[in-house]
């Protein structure tokens, strides 16, 4: 290792969690569901979504309402994607004890940032308008970008941007927020991402043969690492985390849920949805994350795998993990929580960061459901069917986005 980790008082910690997901809308509900092996995959009305007679997905059951005031009397400018992002962002701020940001002074609001990983935001908004019988699909009268509407709604006046890196989008958002805090650009940053079920998404992934076509039972459809896997199950929702420096968190007496200790990124574009044959670049993202956190492969207690259940992707990731961790691979538990949540696409990485925090909090590894016959090409220390009690201090979470956006986050228990 040639790079020392951030000093303790400069460490970037997680002080708030906001979520809207198929497994619940708060940390404890999500952690309970993950450790109980509870699936959020159900049968949905496939009209407008798929050619299949039966369509399985993991939708959000209910979106929490965000309180309004006289200056924001209505949230009618927010479509479903916007409502989910707003609810998760607002809940994260509240969970971090930030209070009503609109009541803070201008100087404080200017030191708070917002980064959201959202893929195809405008397309999904236009799609909803079009399907609802609206006018022009590309209307010049659509409101400002979602991230800026949310920032205005919450009273955030620091930098606010959207990033898009396919399935790694919300992880890239967390990585960017961590850098903003480490360099002193902001004191606090809300970061994460969300996604929704949409006809365009279903059609695209169906035609690319990336979706599972199983029709036996919803909870059996998502099968990461299993020999009988045939694609992923679409999920909906996401999560937003509040990041800040350890020094800032301690100064305001904030509860610290964990540390975002390391980030690694790489790119290996080869195909729209099929990963390349060479695992080198994906492994490099894992190696860089460990390096930036100042930990060795043997220090890891859990790997939350990206593994979505695609025939090629799971094999490629297993090879990348083995290349990055070496002999430690056989002793580090790995699982895919997408077997329960479905694939939240843009919101997957931030949701799976919560899975890592749940493993740390509960000292147990979430299972991979439906792992009846592990693929011999995916040689990992699997956790099939039921959670495994295990000491957990340091975790890694992989997100390998379609098109070659590779990301790994190292999340550990805060000192």
HEC profile for 182-247?
A: HCCCCCEEEEEEEECCCHHHHHHHHHCCCECCCCCCHHHCCCCCECCCCCECEECEEEEEEEEEHH
Residues contacting residue 308 through CB under 8 Å, at least 6 positions apart: 167, 224, 232, 314, 336, 338, 343
Task: Check if the beta carbon of residue 263 is closer than 8 Å to that of residue 292.
Answer: yes
Q: Measuring CA to CA, which residue among 12, 6, 87, 7 is closest to residue 245? A: 12
Count other C-beta atoms under 10 Å from residue 42's C-beta: 15
CA distances from 30 to 42, 103, 216, 306, 356 (A): 17, 30, 26, 18, 11
H-type alpha helices, 63-140: 80-95, 106-109, 121-131
Tokens representing 95? 């969970």
Give me the active site residues, please. Answer: 167, 306, 343
Alpha carbon distance 238, 411 (integer Å): 18
């Amino acid at each position: 290792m040639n790079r020392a980790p951030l000093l303790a008082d400069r460490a970037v910690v997680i002080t708030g969690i906001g979520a809207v997901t198929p497994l619940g809308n708060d940390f404890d509900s999500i952690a309970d569901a993950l450790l109980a092996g509870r699936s959020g995959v159900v049968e949905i009305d496939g009209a407008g979504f798929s050619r299949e007679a039966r369509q399985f997905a993991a939708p959000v059951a209910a979106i929490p309402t965000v309180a309004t005031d006289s200056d924001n009397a209505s949230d009618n400018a927010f479509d479903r994607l916007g409502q989910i992002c707003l609810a998760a962002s607002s809940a994260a701020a509240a969970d971090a004890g930030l209070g009503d940001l609109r009541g803070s002074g201008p100087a404080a609001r200017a030191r708070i940032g917002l980064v959201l990983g959202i893929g195809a935001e405008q397309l999904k908004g236009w799609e909803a308008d079009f399907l609802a019988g609206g006018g022009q699909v590309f209307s010049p009268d659509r409101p400002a970008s979602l991230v800026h509407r949310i920032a205005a709604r919450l009273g955030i006046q620091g930098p606010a941007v959207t990033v898009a890196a396919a399935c790694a989008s919300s992880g890239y958002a967390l990585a960017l927020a961590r850098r903003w805090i480490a360099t002193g650009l902001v004191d606090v940053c809300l970061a994460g991402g969300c996604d929704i079920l949409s006809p365009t998404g279903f059609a695209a992934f169906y035609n690319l043969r990336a979706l599972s076509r199983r029709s036996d039972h919803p909870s059996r459809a998502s099968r990461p690492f299993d020999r009988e896997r045939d694609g992923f199950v679409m999920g909906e929702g996401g999560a937003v985390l509040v990041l800040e420096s350890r020094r800032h968190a301690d100064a305001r007496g904030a509860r610290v849920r964990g540390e975002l200790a390391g980030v690694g990124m790489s790119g290996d574009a080869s195909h729209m949805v099929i990963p390349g044959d060479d695992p080198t670049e994906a492994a490099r993202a894992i190696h860089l994350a460990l390096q930036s956190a100042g930990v060795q492969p043997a220090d890891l207690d859990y790997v939350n795998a990206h593994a979505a259940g695609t025939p090629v992707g799971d094999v490629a990731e297993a090879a990348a993990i083995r290349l990055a961790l070496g002999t430690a691979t056989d002793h580090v538990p790995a699982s895919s929580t997408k077997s329960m949540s479905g694939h939240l696409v843009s919101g997957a990485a931030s949701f799976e960061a919560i899975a890592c925090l749940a493993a740390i909090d509960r000292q147990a590894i979430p299972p991979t459901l439906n792992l009846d016959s592990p693929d011999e090409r995916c040689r990992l220390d699997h956790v099939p069917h039921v959670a495994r009690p295990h000491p957990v201090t340091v975790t890694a979470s992989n997100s390998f986005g379609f098109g070659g956006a590779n990301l790994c986050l190292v999340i550990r228990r805060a000192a």
